[in-house]
Chain A
Amino acid sequence: EDQVTQSPEALRLQEGESSSLNCSYTVSGLRGLFWYRQDPGKGPEFLFTLYSAGEEKEKERLKATLTKKESFLHITAPKPEDSATYLCAVQWDFGTSYGKLTFGQGTILTVHP
């Protein structure tokens, strides 16, 4: 059973067309939810950490929110340079897990000019 699910798998937007990406998780004992951006051929770039329901973080055109079951990454007035794969990852208490993350499959975002 998938524990971290991202939707949609792919999203095509016109420049300036705002939208949201979803990350849902089914485990309890959440220690942190992380959003990353990954460009082709590169490692993921850290965007946000959310720790508790109701928390929100913002950076430029991106805003991340968290509830008890899911997180949203809102993109306001996107630009072509926002095109990338956005990854959601969850950390929960595995005892001696040393903070390992479980990643979702990612959402491939394409923003057309």
Chain B
Amino acid sequence: GAVVSQHPSWVICKSGTSVKIECRSLDFQATTMFWYRQFPKQSLMLMATSNEGSKATYEQGVEKDKFLINHASLTLSTLTVTSAHPEDSSFYICSARGGAGQPQHFGDGTRLSIL
């Protein structure tokens, strides 16, 4: 149980392109989803928290207009990197939590490379 699917797993695109990443909880309803960024050999850095049906809460220093988050249902959240540039290249990971006190379960990440 507690499977989180993230798609796509790998994206290569040109600078200026917008990229959408999907995160789905397959066998549970996720009241809260989280988006992280991870640089090589570093730990996870939280970007934003999203609750179904409400606006996402972004961490300090994360550009809301650059990283658009939509949490339209209890099983789906999307992250759109708008007008991506090479410095946005990174490993993006989502997680989902079933409720208070429940652990976060993670997707397998999306490696984004902007040329």
Contact = CB atoms under 8 A, between A and B. Distances in A.
A41 B109 contact: yes
Interface string B24-36: 0000000010100
Interface residues on B, range: 20 to 34
Interface residues on A, range: 20 to 34
Nearest to A42: B108
Nearest to A39: B108
A36 B109 CA distance: 15
Contacts of B93: 43-44
Contacts of B111: 41
A99 interface: yes
A96 B51 CA distance: 11
Contacts of B49: 97-98, 100
B57 A103 contact: no
Contacts of B2: 46
B113 interface: no
Contacts of B32: 98-99
A106 B39 CA distance: 13
B69 to A, nearest CB: 13
A99 B104 contact: yes
Max chain B Cβ within 10 angstroms of own Cβ: one of A41, A45, A49: A41
Interface of B: 2, 4, 6, 32, 34, 42-44, 46, 49, 51, 57, 93, 95, 97, 100-109, 111
